[in-house]
Structure 1
Amino acid sequence: MDYETLQNHYTRFLSSRVADRKLRAFWSGALPAHVTPHPDPIELAAGMPNEGLFPIESLHVNVVDEPFAHEQYAVRARQLHRDGGGRGEEFDSRAFVQDRLERGSLVDVWRYDPDRPAALSGAVAYQYAESRGQPQLLEFCRRIVQRINPPAYDQWDVTLAHGSSDSLFKVFETFCDAGVTVLAEEFTFTPTVSNIVAAGGTVVPVKVNVTQDAESQGIDVEFLADLLDNWASSRYAHLSKPRLLYTIPTGQNPTGTTLSQAKRRQIYDLANKHDFLIVEDDPYGYLKLPAFDRADPHHNAYASDELSVDDYCDKVLSKSFITIDTVGRVLRLETFSKLFLPGVRISFIVANKFLIDRIVDFADVSVRAPNGIAQAVLVNVIHHWGTKYHDDLQGWLHWVMKVASQYTHRRNVLFQALYSTDAYKKGLFTLTEPSAGMFLTLKPSFEKSDKFPLSERERALDVFNYKLLEEGVKVVLGTKMIVCRELSLDRSFFLRITFAYAADDLQLQEAASRISRAVERLFDEY
């Protein structure tokens, strides 16, 4: 499958705006054959400031090797800890930085860095750059893909974007027009729905099974197949057949469910049969959670060193749709936000080269490359971790596994606390344990009381939320994350709860107690 074949097949998927997204560059052009450029020209064409004009000589970032490492410091200070620990003037910041320098935990971004070709220097990072991103980071992203989710064809590539929201915006602006239909899970990250609608598309929901069963959870494939096979006689017959399926297949937001490999194959086969693209949004895939063991609630396969990096990559992680994609119809969206820093706003898109070029065309005439300082910090921190394992990818994956370990621990603490509450023991709510990511669903047992007929449950969920706020807990209502009320309202009476942000175990345990009190109040006072 060559580039021309990809172009011939996928051009018809593009929005009407794509053809006009061609950068009118004035700084390059083909030379006639008789012209031989000088090997060392003086640059008088590019409107770029010389790096000597940049006010930042160097950046030096103190990097930890373990999440929450600051909680183990002998010193406590307002500059290092959320709860302070003393007056700011008692903390000798310069001595602390000097100590970190001696320990080798500072990562440098120098104006020039000739001795570290894998690092990103300030002279490069602070300058204008190609829209795709810096070569070092692009190559690292390719290595991630090749190691963990190698596509089943050769003509693929990656491009950077400004976080997952920007990736989604670029994708739907590239493929959606008025009249384009996009399939999405009935419960989803609703800002994406806004993205699709703003680009002119119409979203059609696909039923989702929210269950503990690993083989059946996620998209209801029978529902999807029936919908597609009988589109012309369905309630959506007035719409065009779908051009795209948007899915969060692993640690789905908000349900926490994960598509089995068998389901991924079935959905991919449907994409081939009905000729639509799959947009695989995977911000949570690396946060894979081993099953919660109620008999041993503290068990954490990551923390007990039961898993090697190879085990994690080959046995633990769910494989992407792109690993079974032989024709280039899958676009995979990854991000560094959940694993590194949300504020760096760096993500990347994996797709066939023709589609990647179209997305880069959009970047060329809009936001161009992600922030250079953010790219430099990310690249150089990863390189720093890599020196401990003689390989940047190994260093990154060790860090990612440590993050996944923390999420597993937090999940364990919260579930043990929730299962121990009076409200749970009374059967007033049920839980769906997540298989990946940072969200669980809690469902009030409305069916246990005559107070809550189906017609009353949306209002009851709102009242439950008010009681949670009174008790001191913030959650998200399932009713706020539905694509179509008519299809999904009766199945949306749940809470999305995250264990990502709470300060520590004590806060998670206290949150469980507050949830229990709110549930009991709901059933007693409604």
Structure 2
Amino acid sequence: MSPPAAVNIDVGVEAVDDNSPTTTPDYLTVLGVDELRAKTVFSGGIAAVGLSDAFKSKSNTKKPMSKDFTYRLTLESRSRQPSPLKLAAQHLSKKGMISLGGGLPSSAYFPFDHVSVGVPRGDLFSESDIHEYAHNVTIGKHDMKEGRSAYDLSVALNYGQGTGSPQMVRWVTEHTEIVHNPPYQDWASVMTVGSTSAFEMCLRSFCNRGDYFIADEYAFCSAIEAGNGLGIKAVGIRMDSEGMIPSHLDEVLSNWDEKARNAAKPFLIYLVPTGQNPTGSTQGAQRRREIYALAQKHDLIFIEDEPYYFLQMDKYVSPNAAASNGNGNGSASPAPKNLDEFLKGLVPSYLSMDVDGRVIRLDSFSKVIAPGSRCGWLTTSSKICERLMRHNEVTVQAPSGFSQAILFKLLDEHWGHGKYLDWLGYIRKEYSARRNIMLEACEKYIPQEVASWTPPAAGMFLWFKLRQDRHPAFGKKSLLEIEQEIFEAVIDQKTLLAKGSWFFAAQEGQHPDLYFRATFAAAEEGAMVEGIRRFGNALRISFGLPGAVKET
């Protein structure tokens, strides 16, 4: 997966691609999972308790313990008590137990006998191949009792624990140890209904109304709005092509004025380190080490939101630049030879370098399986995990039983960890191709005298910086008015991009630059190229450049 030598194109700063290798110990290979499972006891009845400790490798016990960050929790989080009904459900696993306690409906009244889904057969991952050669897997109501599966509808569709089903907790725990191998002993994973919900849960667990949390200067707008609704503001840290700038983070925290801000120094930091939304920036390994060191210096709790982690790509090389060197399009590198090489080619996660237990990593199936599954998981120290699990118990309870059952059937019984990583490699290649198509269209249609961009090294987004000083209304209208004028010009071209101001973290401040965000994830390839052409035409119209075409 080593990227080719960079060829500069005049579209802004080159993306940093610091893929310092991760380390996967021999005992944490994908092929070692079956041996590990043979040594663990698995209980998966109705409302069964599923804790990560039951599914981690024994060598995990040789690691040091995490630090205790429960003192950072809010009164709301510290006050949560275990649900008596959830605790009582653990007795259901006893042989011969007759339950007249909890209000768990009889599965006899679930109007479903089975659910069948068509999934990829072998390595046939394309949409057309899945449609033509789909392998049908079936989830029956009583597969567990009849010895056909470790999970069935009678369990999945009933109430469960705040951890999520043991079947899925086992799978995500194994996956987390294989990919990230947290360097402390007492870590745990809990299922969530997606990362947006998990982040809101973290805000309520660590911040009170009037507090601040730390974010990138331009950040995921739903995260900012989640804070706004709770009366928790974001303080934005300046960014470069690798995302958050460590020196500015240190400056803001070192000089925090509690009286001027009327708020205590923030200790919760929220980042999307890979394929950041909206800028598409990816932090290299050294940048991550620098920010983690500052988290230790200022005693921060770290939320690592990583929906795009596996969509890491090779450096983009312009076909024009490559052709001039006689190399053809050098944007594609050889595929990794095996799964170990694939994993070692990924930028190390914050979780993998977290010696303290201060990182809360949010993972999701939204960008790599389906957003509508509303299923993901978080990983952090077991003490913090327990508090977040209590929050689950009285809010979402757990992800949908249908989602957990279908994902279990696909990921555990049909694919296994190895084939799932093969799938991730496949969609990485697909998104790389889509990114390249958009970038080639940009070079052809976007007027570079007023727009620049950095080829993203991961994710789904391309971030355009526009030269507001070259706009005819510069000095006559505010930046937001110019942004709106350009936005309307783009809409007139029947194309939709996101305005940069939607993502500005410090909503009460003035953002200094003019940006627009495009995604290469949604539209068909031909439509994507046409959308970029229309965006370029809208820029020519709005900036008064030659070559603009008035279209109706």
TM-score normalised to structure 2 length: 0.79
Hey, what does 1:254 align to over in structure 2? 278
CA drift of 1:460 comes to 2.0
Q: 1:19-52: per-residue Cα shift (whole Å, max 9, x none)?
A: 3321441575699xxxxx9842333333222222
1:228 aligns to what SS in structure 2?
helix
Q: 1:360-414: per-residue Cα shift (whole Å, max 9, x none)?
A: 111112221111111000110123542xxxxx11111111111111111110111
Amino acid at match of 2:527: Q
Alignment of 1:290-301 (within 5 A): 290-295=314-319, 301=332
CA drift of 1:483 comes to 1.6
Alignment of 1:191-202 (within 5 A): 191-202=222-233
TM-score normalised to structure 1 length: 0.83
Q: 1:227-250: per-residue Cα shift (whole Å, max 9, x none)?
A: 2222248954x3211121111111
Hey, what does 2:268 align to over in structure 1? 244
Hey, what does 1:96 align to over in structure 2? none
Hey, what does 1:129 align to over in structure 2? 160
Amino acid at match of 1:194: E
Cα 1:326–1:5 change in 2 (3 A) is closer
2:511 aligns to what SS in structure 1?
helix
1:489 aligns to what SS in structure 2?
coil
- 19-28 or 142-151, which deviates more: 19-28
Hey, what does 1:19 align to over in structure 2? 78
Gaps of 5+ in 1: 32-36, 74-79, 81-99, 212-216, 387-391
CA drift of 1:6 comes to 6.0
The one of 32, 38, 41 equivalent to 2:97 is 41
- 344-353 or 262-271, which deviates more: 262-271
- Residue 328 (str. 1) matches residue 357 (str. 2): yes
The one of 198, 218, 229 equivalent to 1:187 is 218
Q: Conserved in 1, the CA contact under 8 Å of 2:250 and 2:294? A: yes
Q: Distance in 2 between matches of 1:218 and 1:230?
A: 21
Amino acid at match of 1:294: S
The one of 291, 296, 312 equivalent to 2:342 is 312
Amino acid at match of 2:266: P
Alignment of 1:332-411 (within 5 A): 332-383=361-412, 385-386=414-415, 392-411=416-435
- Residue 468 (str. 1) matches residue 525 (str. 2): no
Q: Conserved in 1, the CA contact under 8 Å of 2:77 and 2:205? A: yes
The one of 30, 55, 69 equivalent to 1:10 is 69
Amino acid at match of 1:226: E
Alignment of 1:477-492 (within 5 A): 477-484=499-506, 489-491=511-513
Q: Distance in 1 between matches of 2:88 and 2:125?
A: 52
Q: Conserved in 2, the CA contact under 8 Å of 1:475 and 1:497? A: yes
Q: Conserved in 2, the CA contact under 8 Å of 1:439 and 1:497? A: yes
CA drift of 1:181 comes to 2.6
Alignment of 1:147-226 (within 5 A): 147-209=178-240, 211=241, 217-226=242-251
- 345-354 or 259-268, which deviates more: 259-268
Q: 1:264-310: per-residue Cα shift (whole Å, max 9, x none)?
A: 111111111111201111111111121111135865647x5345322
Cα 1:263–1:116 change in 2 (3 A) is farther
Cα 1:149–1:24 change in 2 (3 A) is closer
- 18-27 or 242-251, which deviates more: 18-27
Hey, what does 2:252 align to over in structure 1? 227
Q: 1:52-93: per-residue Cα shift (whole Å, max 9, x none)?
A: 2221111111123579834469xxxxxx8xxxxxxxxxxxxx
Hey, what does 1:76 align to over in structure 2? none
1:241 aligns to what SS in structure 2?
coil
Cα 1:29–1:310 change in 2 (3 A) is closer
* Higher RCO structure, 1 or 2 (CA under 8 Å, sep 6+): 2
CA drift of 1:143 comes to 1.6
The one of 140, 158, 161 equivalent to 1:110 is 140
Hey, what does 1:514 align to over in structure 2? 534
CA drift of 1:163 comes to 1.0
1:246 aligns to what SS in structure 2?
strand
**Count of residue pairs the alignment pairs up:** 475
Q: Distance in 2 between matches of 1:366 and 1:45?
A: 21
Amino acid at match of 1:441: W
Gaps of 5+ in 2: 1-60, 323-327
**Percent identity at matched positions?**
25
Amino acid at match of 2:305: D
Hey, what does 2:55 align to over in structure 1? none
